[in-house]
Amino acid sequence: MTFRLGLTGGIGMGKSTTVRMFADRGVPVWDADAAVHRLYAPQGAAVAAVITLVPAAAAHDGSINRAALKSALAADPALLPRLEAVVHPLLRHDRAGFLAAHPDAPVALFDIPLLFETGADADMDGTATVSVDAETQRARVLSRGTMDEAMLNQILSRQLTDAERRTRARWVIPTDTPESALAAVDAILQDITHA
Q: What is the rounded CA–CA span in Å between residue 118 and residue 48? A: 22
- Environment class of 91 (CB within 10 Å of its CB; exposed 0-12, middle 13-18, buried 19+): buried
112-142 pLDDT per residue, tens: 999 999 899 999 999 999 999 999 988 888 8
Domains, the chain, ordered by start = 1-28+106-195 (3.40.50.300), 40-101 (no CATH)
Hey, how many other C-beta atoms are within 10 angstroms of the C-beta on 76? Answer: 11
Strands 171-174 and 3-8: unpaired
**Mean pLDDT in each 10-residue stretch from start to end of the chain (195 residues)?**
95 93 98 96 96 95 94 91 93 95 96 92 97 90 85 83 95 96 97 88
Tell me how far apart the 2 most distant CA atoms of the chain are, in Å: 51
